[in-house]
Amino acid sequence: MKAIKGLIIALIAISFAACESSESQLITYKINEPVFMSKTAFRSSIKVTTKVQDIKNYGKICFYQDYLYISESGKGIHVIDNRNPSNPQNVGFIELLGNADLSVRNNLLYADSYVDLVWFDISTPASPVLKDRLVDVFPKAIPIMLNQYGFDYEDCYVEGKDSVIVGWNVVEKTEEMKDYHGNYWGWGGGFFDDRFVMMDAASPSANSNGINGSMSRFSLYDNKLYVVLENNMTIFDLAGTNPVKVKESIYVGRNVETIFSYKDNLFMGTPTGMLIYSVKNPYTPEYMSSISHAFGCDPVVVDNDLAYVTVHSGNNCGQNTNELFIVDVKDVKNPKELVSFKTLVSPKGLGIDAGKLFLCDDGLKIFRITDSPSSLLTNLIKHVPGMAGYDLIPYNNTLMMIAEDGLYQYDYTDTNNIRQISKLSFVK
């Protein structure tokens, strides 16, 4: 959630268009007004069907035991049979209001549904079975906003309200603005939500974890699930039959957008840089360090003690640069930026496998990783333009990439002959 900076800029423009000598004046502006649904109706809305639903909008992705799960933001999760990557099949859909992220562990799929955490048994992948939910564990969760307007914090978070925000109506309001000579405007507390700027990955283990894309806010470590939302981290213990929320959510600040688990640490992407927390004590993550850069929305992946971070423009994160950073994180208390590449087009999701960096940028770019980070861009193996790539998962010589218009898959068994093997088109 971004503070009211963007709205203040808009109000400045309005105020300067009015009489500048006034100490108090009326202003007219647009704002997102919440649409509420009763919690009873909300929690009874889950549906699981084998009837194929067209995928209209891309979102977070998770790969588990030859099936790919694609979240369509706010609506639910599509189930893709990917046992034959050359011919993927859309085989089912979980209708789940307010879903944005997911993770899989030991045949259980965990997903957010606005304020709740919900989980399903996917032992039969095409027919998920709802198991249960933990209610009100994400009390600040709200729907995405696909516009530049803010919202009134007090209208949205009413103590004891037995309803959930499920949408927005844009309304026009007129209020008195107090003097603008360096003073704060008490207009009601508007904020921006940047979650529509779609922006983690867990490696498979003996415990059978799914693999998330780099844009995820869910991350698995040991038998814990770490979820970052806005400025907070929530921890769930998955050791028992049902997940258990551990303590209260931990304030980490900076509006964390992505999270990646590597060794005993969590690497978090934020609009102003990367945070590192140790989870040697998994119930009490400890802040290690941070490294800052220009404002941007950034996923992070880590391999061989090097963190790869992308920043892209064209979003609500406050910058117009497109960069790839490589950071030495061998000493997590003292990370060191090694190089920054500023000649990219619009880098987003990324992943690493078999000594190669796969990057969504002007389509798909694949680089060979060498001992010299500064030479990465000169080691381009292949560039496939023509699609707006968002996120990807490289695994076992198959690259699964989500783009605006479909799911693209590539065989990279032969480094010198990486080739597209399928495309599952989305419906617009």
- 399 and 380 in contact (C-beta within 8 Å)? no
Q: Beta-strand (E) ranges in 189-313?
A: 190-191, 211-212, 218-221, 224-229, 232-237, 244-251, 258-262, 265-270, 273-278, 286-292, 300-303, 306-311
Find the mean pLDDT for residues 393-413. Answer: 96
Distances (CA, A) of 304 to 278, 332, 338: 17, 13, 14
Residue 45 φ then ψ, to 5°: -90, -5
Which pLDDT value is given to residue 9?
A: 39
pLDDT value of position 4: 38
pLDDT at 177: 63
**Residue 353 parent element (H or E):** strand 350-353
pLDDT for 371 beyond 90: yes
- Whether the per-residue pLDDT at 2 is higher than 70: the answer is no
pLDDT computed for residue 43 by the predictor: 95
pLDDT tens, residue by residue, 372-389: 999 999 999 999 999 999
Vertex 79: Cα angle to 74 and 82 (nearest 5): 140
| Better-predicted residue by pLDDT, 193 or 264 | 264
- Percent of the chain exceeding pLDDT 90 equals 66
State residue 311's pLDDT score: 86
pLDDT at 310 over 50: yes
Name which of 62-76, 139-153, 209-223, 274-288 the model is least confident about. 139-153
Side-chain-facing half-sphere of 200: CA atoms under 13 Å: 27
The predicted pLDDT at position 321 comes to 79
Q: How confident is the model at residue 257 (pLDDT cuts 50, 70, 90)?
A: confident
Tell me: pLDDT of 117 over 50. yes
Q: For 332-362, how does the pLDDT look when each residue is reduced to its tens digit (9 = 90+)?
A: 999 999 999 988 998 999 999 999 999 999 9
Q: How far apart are CA 178 and CA 185, in angstroms?
A: 6
Q: In the prediction, which pLDDT does 296 show?
A: 57
CA-closest candidate to residue 390, choices 420, 367, 343, 358: 358
pLDDT at 142: 87
Residue 198: pLDDT above 60?
A: no
Report whether pLDDT(156) > 90. Answer: no
Mean predicted lDDT score pLDDT of the chain? 85
Query: Which pLDDT score, from 0 to 100, does residue 13 have?
Result: 42
Q: How many Cα atoms sit within 13 Å of 197 on the Cβ side? A: 29
The confidence score (pLDDT) of residue 348 equals 93
- At 109, the pLDDT band (50, 70, 90 cuts) reads very high
Distance from chain centroid for Cα 388: 17
- In this model, does residue 33 exceed pLDDT 50? yes
What does the pLDDT read at residue 87? Answer: 98
